[in-house]
């Protein structure tokens, strides 16, 4: 599977904390905020969950020296959700305590974890205001989850959703997902607490900008969020327009599942991988 690494490199800030930190600092110097993800998900043993938690604790210790508040993106299945929910809760609590003023945001995974993620997030947020959530616009249930996060004042990232879900649970076509995204985003922007609009879809971004201008919503009350290595041009344009732009920065060794999701999002990515594969196999790079 190492053949995918040239492709993966574009989307990850480093293989470990040491190599990722200069990239995070460089983003900050250019005016971007970051949400940092230590890559990993679906661990099977208590030791793996503990090791993942320790990696986040090391990250918190390192970023505390940087003097700027960050967002930490973490997956519950990385903290042991599917081994023992209590272990997972304990790990997340420990991380929230250590994180202090940094936000700990629970990434949203497949629909088998949605309810458990929202429940745990809602519960922990009552005592720890630095807990944030993520909601996916492709899920039918998200309309009511948006009501919940607005009522509870939980800072929420809205994205389209990156997992394969059945039609009973999720919109399947691009247009329905876009329309639902806009409806949910408009509510979060008007009534939610520091929402993040996470997309590279230019149509959605234009509609959001039109909406915030029409409604006089201050750019200080929300974020645009984009993935590391995706549409850097757009990242700069949004920053130049005076918006707060937060970059999702993943790093670590467990890059494969994350990379496969990025691969699936765009057919050009598959061509890129096939081209690299052909170059390695047949040495085409020497002639072109
Ligand atoms: P769309 O897929 O239509 O892409 C719009 C344009 O962006 C493309 O035409 C292309 O130019 C560019 N683009 C998008 N993806 C690309 C890629 N992989 N490679 C190269 N170019 C690409 N999902 C989830 O289920 N749970 C989560 O917690 C998160 N978290 C998250 C954080 C942030 C900051 C972002 C931006 C996204 C997520 N996602 C996520 C992923 C999200 O659900 C979705 O799969 C991707 O953002 C792709 O959808 P877009 O809205 O960007 O639109």
Q: What pLDDT digit, counting tens, does each position of 17-28 carry?
A: 999 999 999 999
Which residues lie below 8 Å from residue 19, measured CB to CB, with a gap of 6+? Answer: 13, 251
pLDDT (0 to 100) of residue 68: 78
The closest residue, in CA terms, to atom 15 on ligand 1 is 265
Any domain includes 152: yes
Query: Per the domain annotation, does 277 fall within a domain?
Result: yes
37 is catalytic: no
CATH classification at residue 250: 3.20.20.220
pLDDT at residue 1 is higher than 60:
no
CA 62 to chain centre: 20
Say if ligand 1 is within 6 A of residue 226 CB.
Answer: yes
What is the per-residue pLDDT across 131-180, written as a single tens digit (0 to 9) for each? Answer: 999 999 999 999 999 999 999 999 999 999 999 999 999 999 999 999 99
In a domain, 59, yes or no: yes
> What is residue 72's three-state secondary structure?
strand
More confident of the two residues 145 and 2: 145
**Is 115 among the domain residues?**
yes
Active site residue 157: yes
Q: Whose CA is nearest to atom 45 of ligand 1?
A: 162
Does residue 288 lie within any of the structural domains? no
- State how far the alpha carbon of 212 is from the alpha carbons of 122, 183, 215, 216, 223, in Å: 27, 13, 5, 6, 12
Determine the average pLDDT of the residues in 234-249. 97
Ligand 1 close to Cβ of residue 155 (< 6 A): no
Q: Whose CA is nearest to atom 41 of ligand 1?
A: 162
Spacing, Cα 272 to ligand 1 middle (Å): 17
Our answer on whether the CB atom of 262 is closer than 6 Å to any ligand 1 atom is yes
**Look-up: residue for tokens 């983003």?**
27
Residue 36 belongs to domain spanning: 2-282
Q: Is the dihedral of CA 250, 256, 262, 267 positive or negative?
A: positive
pLDDT confidence of 288, banded at 50, 70, 90? very low
pLDDT surpasses 50 at 286 = no
Q: What total number of domains does the chain contain? A: 1
Residue 287 lies in a domain: no
% residues pLDDT > 70 (the chain):
95
For residue 49, pLDDT beyond 90: yes
Q: Which of 37, 71, 105, 107 is catalytic?
A: 107
Determine the distance separating the centroid of ligand 1 and the alpha carbon of 200, expressed in angstroms: 6
Q: What is the pTM of this model?
A: 0.94
pLDDT digits (tens, 9 = 90+) for 53-73: 999 999 999 988 777 778 999
Burial of 92 (0-12, 13-18, 19+ CB in 10 A): buried
């Amino acid at each position: 599977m190492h053949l995918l690494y040239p492709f993966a490199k574009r989307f990850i800030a480093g293989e470990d904390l040491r190599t990722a930190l200069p990239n995070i600092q460089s983003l900050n110097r250019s005016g971007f905020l970051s949400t940092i993800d230590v890559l990993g998900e679906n661990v099977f043993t208590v030791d793996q969950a503990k090791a993942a938690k320790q990696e986040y604790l090391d990250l918190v210790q390192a970023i505390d020296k940087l003097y700027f508040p960050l967002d930490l993106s973490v997956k519950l299945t990385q903290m042991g959700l599917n081994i023992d929910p209590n272990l997972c809760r304990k790990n997340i609590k420990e991380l929230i305590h250590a994180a202090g003023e940094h936000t700990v945001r629970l990434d949203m995974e497949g629909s088998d974890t949605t309810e458990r993620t929202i429940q745990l997030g809602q519960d922990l947020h009552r005592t720890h205001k630095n807990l944030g959530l993520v909601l996916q616009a492709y899920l039918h249930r998200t309309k009511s989850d948006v009501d919940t996060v607005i009522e509870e004042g939980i800072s929420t990232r809205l994205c389209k959703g990156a997992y394969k879900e059945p039609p009973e649970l999720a919109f399947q076509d691009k247009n329905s997902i876009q329309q639902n995204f806009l409806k949910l985003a408009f509510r979060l922007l008007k009534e939610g607490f520091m929402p993040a609009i996470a997309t590279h879809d230019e149509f959605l971004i234009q509609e959001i900008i039109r909406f915030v201008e029409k409604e006089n919503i201050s750019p200080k009350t929300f974020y645009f969020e984009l993935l590391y290595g995706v549409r850097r041009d757009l990242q700069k344009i949004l920053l130049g327009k005076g918006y707060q732009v937060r970059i999702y920065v993943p790093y670590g060794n467990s890059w494969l599942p994350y990379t496969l999701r990025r691969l699936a999002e765009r057919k050009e990515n598959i061509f890129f991988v096939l081209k690299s594969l052909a170059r390695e196999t047949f040495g085409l790079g020497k002639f072109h």
